[in-house]
Structure 1
Amino acid sequence: MTNREIPLNNQQLKPEKTKHKLLQQLLVVVLIGLFIGFMRPFGMDQYTLLLSMSYWVFTCICGYLIYMPLIILGHKYLVKNVTTTWHRVAISSLLASLIMSLMVPFIGWLFFNHTLQLSHHFLLALPDTLIIGSIITFVSMLQNHLHHQKQQLEQSKLVIEQSQKVIEQHQQSQDINSILIDQFMALLPLEKRGQLLCLEMDDHYLKVHTDKGQHMLLMRLKDALLQLEGFPGLQTHRSWWVANQAVVSVNKENRKMSLLLSNHLEVPVSRTFAEAVKANLAL
């Protein structure tokens, strides 16, 4: 039941057009360039404000066109050996900074007619490039993260709205619980849709554990429990819900109780839910 695919035509959010997203990111890069140019760092105060701002906008755009493709390629080719996203970004950004440091002398020659001494200017530009590149990369990654969060939140809200409509339209249907459970499981990536084991609240996120791994959803536990009302399970703690089939054993130590699950997680049982857990598991 938890593995089968269901139609999600009404749930899918329209993907943002690549062109629109690119323009948004470039606008952020231009604004950063204008701000740096206005501050006139690294001895730029000897030049006019217009020249300083033009230089930094052009430099930031060049940096964006170097950093972003390399970061995308880094995610594609380093994912097997470097599992942490930020580590892949750091490696890609370091490589991009080296390339950008070779570009900076040419940009300086273009704007200020500097004499080209590539090796000397490369070493001078590298620290500044690392700093500016890291700032632009961080802002861009933060923007993408917030955009992804917003999409996930909108998708969760959309699923909840669809669930409420299903309940209103099928009050007498025996398939309501099955539909709601499938809609919840459809929020997970295909490779994570397995046997549902437990739910764990982690700040504003809901960590869904299955026998195929775990996945974070931007959803409240109480909203998830509404959708899983027909699924055989129980809440053991204000931050935990457990599927009955996942419980391997019950551990008791003095007045403390916990449940050992088939994925080797030990889930706490709070006093508030202790009696319900005992009744549900016939202890």
Structure 2
Amino acid sequence: MRRWAVDVLMLAVMGLLLGFLGPFDSDSAPLATRYAYWTICMVGGGLIAVAVDEGVGRRLPVLWRRLAVTCALATPLVTLFVVVTQHLMFAERRWSIYLPLLWQVGPIMLAAMTVRALAWRRRPMRIETRTVVEPPLPQAEATFRRRLSAKRRGARLIAIEAHDHYLRVHTDAGPELIALRFADALDELSRAHGWQVHRSWWVAADAVEAVRWRRGTGEMRLVGGLTAPVSRTHGPALKAAGWL
């Protein structure tokens, strides 16, 4: 009922607007009569079109097809309603006006139903996903962790950044430089929960807070305010994990 009430309100506003504009030589009628005529035509005829749309148009998911079918089916019925309204309000008894009115009613119904469809169109739902990562098994990182100092050996591993023949290991206890090739580090962390996201970056999966992708490259925000680049080559791994 609330939806129908809103439809009636929208149609009444359209009727008042047409009454103000006075199209199709209706501006020659008295002001009150003109407003009443257009309001009756828009509300009554509009509800006929809404009923047709609810019965038939809902089966058509494509908006322009739905509008075309609804208006094609509703326009003859709405035109008949307009003819009867003119007969009652203006004593217009010529049924020959039916065909000319079809070409006037059609565009108005199309405009009104388009406004209604856009007003009731459902906005796309925004679904936020969160990747839940199980903590890595101790032995998965054990070999690599033995290379760190005692202070950082038991710290949370965040990321690894390659610098020539050195690696900057980022942990929640601070960064540390170690002498190791990046390829060797990847081998030692092959069973750990993480990804190589750039030719010189590896990140732990549970350290990722957000990923932003633009024009073929990306940027990853990690815990502790750290930022890591994401290259086009390694983007599919993050996409498969649900981050892109």
Q: CA deviation at 1:100?
A: 1.2
Structure 2: runs of 5+ lacking an equivalent? 135-214, 219-228, 239-244
1:51 aligns with 33
Q: CA deviation at 1:60?
A: 0.6
Kindly tell me: are residues 137 and 113 of structure 1, through their superposed partners in 2, closer, same or farther at Cα, counting changes over 3 Å? Answer: same
Matched, 1:277 2:179: no
Return the alpha-carbon distance in structure 2 between the equivalents of residues 131 and 116 of structure 1: 22
Matched, 1:104 2:82: yes
Q: CA deviation at 1:91?
A: 0.8
Instruction: Determine which structure has more spread, i.e. the larger CA radius of gyration.
Output: 2
2:105 aligns with 129
Kindly tell me: are residues 229 and 25 of structure 1, through their superposed partners in 2, closer, same or farther at Cα, counting changes over 3 Å? Answer: same
Q: CA deviation at 1:142?
A: 1.4
Return the alpha-carbon distance in structure 1 between the equivalents of residues 98 and 15 of structure 2: 21
1:74 aligns with 56
Return the alpha-carbon distance in structure 2 between the equivalents of residues 127 and 30 of structure 1: 22
User: Relative contact order: is structure 1 or structure 2 higher (C-alpha 8 Å, sep ≥ 6)?
Assistant: 1
Contact persistence 2:216–2:232 (CA under 8 A): no
**Over aligned residues, Cα RMSD in angstroms?**
2.7
1:218 aligns with 126
Please list, as runs of the form range in 1=range in 2, the aligned pairs for 1:7-26 lying within 5 A after superposition: 19-26=1-8
Q: How high is the TM-score relative to the length of structure 1?
A: 0.47
Contact persistence 1:67–1:93 (CA under 8 A): yes
Structure 1: runs of 5+ lacking an equivalent? 1-18, 150-215, 233-267
The alignment partner of 1:218 has SS state of coil
Please list, as runs of the form range in 1=range in 2, the aligned pairs for 1:160-199 lying within 5 A after superposition: none
Q: How high is the TM-score relative to the length of structure 2?
A: 0.54
Q: CA deviation at 1:125?
A: 0.5
Q: CA deviation at 1:73?
A: 1.3
Return the alpha-carbon distance in structure 1 between the equivalents of residues 233 and 4 of structure 2: 53
Return the alpha-carbon distance in structure 2 between the equivalents of residues 108 and 278 of structure 1: 66
Residues 226-250 of structure 1 deviation map (CA, whole Å, 9 limit, x = unaligned): x323269xxxxxxxxxxxxxxxxxx
1:229 aligns with 131
Kindly tell me: are residues 275 and 35 of structure 1, through their superposed partners in 2, closer, same or farther at Cα, counting changes over 3 Å? Answer: closer
Matched, 1:93 2:93: no
Q: Which residue identity lines up with residue 70 of structure 1 in the other structure?
A: V
Q: How many residues align?
A: 148
Residues 185-211 of structure 1 deviation map (CA, whole Å, 9 limit, x = unaligned): xxxxxxxxxxxxxxxxxxxxxxxxxxx
The alignment partner of 2:24 has SS state of coil
Matched, 1:65 2:47: yes
Return the alpha-carbon distance in structure 1 between the equivalents of residues 108 and 93 of structure 2: 23
Q: CA deviation at 1:112?
A: 0.5
Q: CA deviation at 1:83?
A: 4.9
Kindly tell me: are residues 230 and 88 of structure 1, through their superposed partners in 2, closer, same or farther at Cα, counting changes over 3 Å? Answer: same
Aligned-pair identity in percent equals 20
Residues 86-140 of structure 1 deviation map (CA, whole Å, 9 limit, x = unaligned): 20221121110121122221111111011232xx211110111011111211111
Q: CA deviation at 1:218?
A: 3.2
